[in-house]
A and B are shown apart, each in its own frame.
Chain A
Amino acid sequence: MKGILKSWSMGAAILSVSMVGLAGCGQSSGGSGNNGGTNQSGASNSSKPSTSTKKVNLVLTMWGGPTDTKTYQDRANLYTKEHPNVKITVKNIPNGHYDQELETMIAGGSSPDIVEVSQDFAPLAAKGAIMNLSPSIKSSGISMNNLYSTGFINSYQYQGKQYAMPDRGGYILLFYNKTMFDKAGLSYPKAGWTWNEFLQDAQKLTIQKNGKTVQWGCAIDDWWPEYMAFTYGAGGWELNQSMTKATMATPQFQKGLEFYNDLAYKYKVSPTTKDYANLGKGTNRDSLFAQGKNAMSISGFWDIPAFEKQNLKFGMAPLPVGPSGHGGMAVAGTGLAVASKSKYPKIAFDVVKFMTSAKGEMPIVQNKEDLPAVKPDIPLWEKSLPQGVSYAQMAAAQSDLFSPRISPKWNEIQSKITQDFTAFFNGKENVQKATQQADKDVNQILAGQ
């Protein structure tokens, strides 16, 4: 009797240990809210966009903070209100490894249905990971130009096909501290102001005390939307139109890049990389502006809640006009794409169509998440701006919106360019050498596999 009990208890112990061990094996990275309601065997491409009786569970991947997660879920819930059988789970993936997790999910067979994308859409499109939406757009009769600015539509096109619907319409603009401008007796920046006027303002706004700078006119980083505002303003591009060759070692690009870096090293109106390091790791233009330490910051609309919290009197202005005759504001919004391996592509597109409509983008305005891409909602967003902040100058400069030429090898190319520009941004190399090296390396990448 004792022997049997002993072996039973031993067996139970072994079983429970095995369970614990195997439970660890069972966790897949993309398992939550998997797209598997009731089995729609085989033909998931029904002609009706939403099946009225079958329950469907979609997964939407995004990145961002709690406000972003909540806003995407709010918008998804609006769709569920009208189509109760479609439930959408919003999955927040940290920005640092968004690409990695997305690729792993797709490769591992648990692809999401809707994917938030930005510049990374190009490799996804080139590799067929997200669907070409042009046919669906055409058949559903959406008038893209009525709903979105050209800059946003273009930024999600690859080889002439539309791969994502414009979702959030952010772009890189210039914030300025009104209190500092008032103190220096300067008039506020207006659409059409030039590089020279910008520089003069920055010089007047840089204040030194006992040999140390206590207020900077502006604050530059090595982030591409910031320097591209000036290289584009000088008429330069990183790649040629067909994206087969790098074009950074051209006079226009170099002129813009040099003027940009000179702000820190020649005119000393911006901190250098050394100054940033002294101010603490992670300090950049945004934190300095929020702390009231620089007068102008080139950044995006996501900063507005932080500035509001600091009770800053700030204004928005377009980037100054360069030798090319126009300024440059890089499109930095996001789009919504449909994953190719989604089990319900038609329903997913219907959701995307709704979420990027005037109705579906309302929560973006209500939660003050960002600037919506859909034109009808923009006036409502303007109303949500803090007192005294006007969008008028921005509206006057919409033609300056541009999207960089994004090749499928964007990640690799940008990483290489950042590496090659590091010495230049540290003030240790001249612009000719830096751009020539960057061209050489990028051409190698473009020619490679």
Chain B
Amino acid sequence: MLLNTSKRREIIAFYLFLTPWLIGFLVFYAIPLLASLGLSFTSWDMLQPAKWVGFKNYHDLLFGAGEFWRVLGNTAYYGLILVPLHIIMSLIFAVLLNQSVVLRRWFRTAFYLPGTIPIVAVVMLWSWMLAPSGILNEMLSWVGIHGPAWFVDAAWIKNGLILMGLWSMGGGVVLFLAALQGVPRYLYEATAIEGAGSIRQFFSITIPMLSPIILFNLVNGVIGSLQIFTQEYIIAKDNPSALMMVPYLYNEAFSFYKMGYASAIAWLFFIVIMLLTLLVLRWSKSWVYYEGMA
């Protein structure tokens, strides 16, 4: 098959343009990924040669002292409460904002701003706000509730982290607001004529029309929030009731000289996240409506 020169040039150009990204992908992503898979079957302290141990790391993690499961539980608690809460709240705020035109731009900025603040600053701010005698507990006491010690109380650290996460994930509102613009006006008008109230409209029109974006936020949220690191590391890395997967992995790898063990943790966690994502996607088939579908 003789390709003419222009076609050939196009193909060469394609591969040439692809090469930088391909090299980056291989060097920073694919090769380290495979390397960590290999490392997960070894015991390696980074200073001496790696020792092959087969499935021992996985066995110890899954059936050993139970630390992996405890940490997984903490992480799941955080992620699986934060993400649905966040989506619901973002959706409600977006719908509310969709009503008023004047204040919309101001509120949109205000909601998005917390997400732009550096994480460490957010941690400082919230540690102060959630102090045992801090602002939040002060406000709770006005309605007669004695607030917990939040970050100083083992049972409440995760909840404090959830609060902090809710505040700083402002991007959701902006996304939903944009998506709402794409919902055809005539749908609301038509159903209003039929006598549908705004709540009925919300559940029967808004949510189905927005469901692809909701799914996007859900999947991204789950994957992202389960991998929380910075805030968790600063606040609670020494607290067993709040330790989460990535700080746990980080400690094992770099503080305890157990790189092979940590690699196994990473791969087990990858499997968990993948399973969760598949679950969400499988479930989504029942409620996501894509325009253009019959």
Contacts and interface: CB of A to CB of B under 8 A. Distances in A.
Interface of A: 7, 10-11, 14, 17-18, 20-22, 24-25, 97, 99-100, 103-104, 106-107, 123-124, 127-129, 273-274, 277-278, 280-282, 409, 411-412, 415, 418-419, 422-423, 426, 428, 444, 449
A415 B28 contact: no
B47 interface: yes
A103 B23 contact: no
Contacts of B254: 97, 99-100, 103
Interface of B: 9, 13, 16-17, 19-21, 23-24, 27-28, 43, 45-48, 65, 123-124, 127-128, 131-134, 149-154, 238-240, 251, 253-258
B16 A14 contact: yes
A123 B27 CA distance: 31
A280 B131 contact: yes
A419 B239 contact: yes
Given A22-B23, A24-B24, A280-B128, A106 B47 contact: yes
A106 B46 contact: yes
B43 A422 contact: no
A423 B24 contact: no
A422 B127 CA distance: 17
Contacts of B46: 103-104, 106-107
Contacts of B124: 281-282
Contact of B255 (A10, A22, A280, A412): A412
B47 A107 contact: yes
B152 A277 contact: yes
Contact of B48 (A128, A277, A412): A128
Nearest to B45: A127
Contacts of B123: 281
Contacts of A25: 23-24, 27-28
Contacts of B257: 103, 123, 127, 411
Contacts of B251: 415
A100 B254 CA distance: 5
B135 to A, nearest CB: 11
Contact of B127 (A17, A22, A281, A412): A281
Nearest to A428: B154
Contacts of B154: 422-423, 426, 428
A18 B21 CA distance: 8
A93 B158 CA distance: 31
A449 B57 CA distance: 11
Nearest to B20: A21
A449 B132 contact: no
A444 B47 contact: no
B256 A415 contact: yes
B104 to A, nearest CB: 35
A103 B45 CA distance: 9
Given A419-B238, A422-B239, A444-B65, A18 B47 contact: no
Contacts of A282: 124
A152 B254 CA distance: 27
A274 B149 contact: yes
A22 B20 CA distance: 7
A418 B255 CA distance: 14
A103 B47 contact: yes
A21 B134 CA distance: 48
7 nearest A-B residue pairs (beta carbon): A21-B20, A281-B127, A100-B254, A103-B46, A412-B256, A129-B47, A127-B47
A21 B152 contact: no
Given A17-B20, A422-B154, A274 B132 contact: yes
A24 B20 CA distance: 11
19 contacts: A11-B16, A14-B16, A17-B20, A18-B20, A21-B20, A106-B46, A107-B47, A127-B47, A274-B149, A274-B152, A277-B149, A278-B134, A281-B124, A281-B128, A411-B257, A419-B238, A422-B240, A426-B152, A426-B154
A22 B239 CA distance: 41
B132 A277 contact: yes
B58 to A, nearest CB: 14
A277 B255 contact: no
B238 A278 contact: no
Given A14-B16, A22-B20, A426-B154, A278 B131 contact: yes
Contacts of B127: 277, 280-281
A279 to B, nearest CB: 8
Nearest to A124: B47
